[in-house]
A and B are shown apart, each in its own frame.
Chain A
Amino acid sequence: DAMVIQNPRYQVTQFGKPVTLSCSQTLNHNVMYWYQQKSSQAPKLLFHYYDKDFNNEADTPDNFQSRRPNTSFCFLDIRSPGLGDAAMYLCATSYRVSQPQHFGDGTRLSIL
């Protein structure tokens, strides 16, 4: 089945230690998104790629970076995680912006 896959499902890192989360898709969608979701809150868009064009949200901290080496893969890099970065990180894809997005099951990030 075509889908969005996030690895790992659970990630633990230390305060200040860089961490990378990965997302892959078999849908061949043009757009890939990264969201941060904290407990009992709605997802918050961090950035998205339309093909290779990177679009950062204005309030996304500089600590968060992303890479999309090809159509299928997208990575979220957190350069120096703080305690406030503990959250669920969701990857999503869509064929075009404004069309329904397909979500992965997320990576839950814990900071020690």
Chain B
Amino acid sequence: AQSVTQLDSHVSVSEGTPVLLRCNYSSSYSPSLFWYVQHPNKGLQLLLKYTSAATLVKGINGFEAEFKKSETSFHLTKPSAHMSDAAEYFCVVVPSNTGKLIFGQGTTLQVKP
């Protein structure tokens, strides 16, 4: 069975401090893993993707994520939060046998001035 668990429903950080959004996955097949961001009343924007190449993946807007197979994790990080990073973040696993996106529950990132 395939599933994604985002360990925090809400994360609050101060502007300029690091961001960590946690994601664990379960997949019987070699998965692809994505992080998407959704700003209010907008669609989802792809931040970064892991597709069995380098385990440390760099994305847009200074975000990166590290694929750790032994821990079945794909946590999203950013060294310094910006006010514009406030949004909903979804971790997504895509099993190779179906190709369908399986979403985590989402994490709301709040950035305080």
A103 and B42 alpha carbons, distance in the complex (Å)? 9
Q: Sort chain B's interface into a size bin.
A: 20 to 34
Indicate with 1 or 0, residue by residue over B82-95, a CB within 8 angstroms of chain A CB atoms. Answer: 00000000100010
Interface size class on chain A is: 20 to 34
Q: Is there a chain A Cβ closer than 8 Å to B41's Cβ? A: yes
Q: Judge if A12 is at the interface, Cβ distance under 8 Å.
A: no
A81 at the interface (CB under 8 A from B): no
Tell me whether B41 and A108 are in contact (CB under 8 A).
Answer: yes
Considering only CB atoms, which chain B residue lies closest to A91 in the complex?
B43
A101 interface residue, CB < 8 Å from B?
Answer: yes
* Given known A-B contacts A42-B90, A42-B105, A42-B106, A97 and B100 have beta carbons under 8 A apart: yes
Q: Hey, which chain A residues are within 8 Å of B101, CB to CB? A: 43, 45, 101
Please provide the chain A residues from 12 to 61 with a CB less than 8 Å away from any CB of chain B in the complex.
40-43, 45
The 3 A-B pairs of least Cβ separation, nearest first, read: A98-B99, A103-B43, A97-B99
A-B contact pairs, 21 of them (CB 8 A): A4-B43, A41-B105, A42-B103, A43-B44, A88-B41, A92-B43, A92-B44, A97-B98, A97-B99, A98-B96, A98-B98, A100-B34, A100-B49, A101-B101, A102-B46, A103-B36, A103-B43, A104-B43, A105-B42, A106-B41, A108-B41
